[in-house]
Structures are given as structure tokens and as C-alpha cells.
Amino acid sequence: MEQYLLAVHMVEGQPLPSEEEMQKAYAQVDAVNRELQAAGAWVFGGGLLPADNATVVRAENGRTTMTDGPFAETKEQLGGFWVLRCEDLDQALAWAAKCAEACMGPVEVRPFQDEPES
């Protein structure tokens, strides 16, 4: 089994969903989460606060600095994620399609690096 990150993207400047749309998305995501857990694919998942709540920590030349705001200067930021255990990329993509529909936003799929043999 391989592990995949399914990342939900939030796009800056897009109108915020209504409270009704948010409640619908929460209910749909909860249903997909239960389905993932029942299928044994669930490892971990969660939603994130907006990127302006981020703190970036850098270590350079033995000195640590911290700055407010997101690391990347971009219009798309990570809004939430799932970590799944899947047989292959096709299975991860099938779950991503369900997740994108449930959260009503784009979902990026990325495999984790293979762990080195001990």
C-alpha cells in the first residue's frame, strides 16, 4: 500500500461560499470521511484555517526567523487535506474525485516518497 496526500485548494479572490453551502460541504465531507474509514483508506485528514493565520519558520545560518502569513506568494493556498492509504494512484484518484465533489473544490493528489529500507 502506498500513501497519498489529497490537498484541497482555496483560491484567493473567489467569493466565499454561503453558510448554507459550507454546511452542505461539511456534511458531504463527513460522509466521504466515513466511507474512507470504512474502506480502510483513511490515515488522517483535516481542514486548515485561512493562510493568513500561518507563521513561516526559517532556519538559516544557525538563526531562526518567524514571519506572519503564508510561505508562498500565490492566489492558491492549502485549505485542508487527507492522507490516504491506497493500492495505487488510480485508487487515490478515484477517492480524490469523491473528495473534490464533497468539498466542492479542487483536490491535488501527490504520492509520498518511498521510505528508505532500514
Q: How do residues 37-75 score in pLDDT, each as one tens digit? A: 999 999 999 988 877 788 888 999 999 999 887 666 666
Closest alpha carbon to 51 in 81, 82, 80, 27: 80
CATH number for the domain running over 2-111: 3.30.70.1060
Cβ-contact 105, 7 below 8 angstroms:
no
Q: Considering only residues 28 and 53, tell me which one the structure prediction assigns the higher pLDDT.
A: 28
Where along the chain do its domains lie?
2-111
Q: How deeply is 35 buried, as exposed, middle or buried, from its count of CB atoms within 10 A (0-12, 13-18, 19+)?
A: middle
- Single pTM value for the model: 0.80
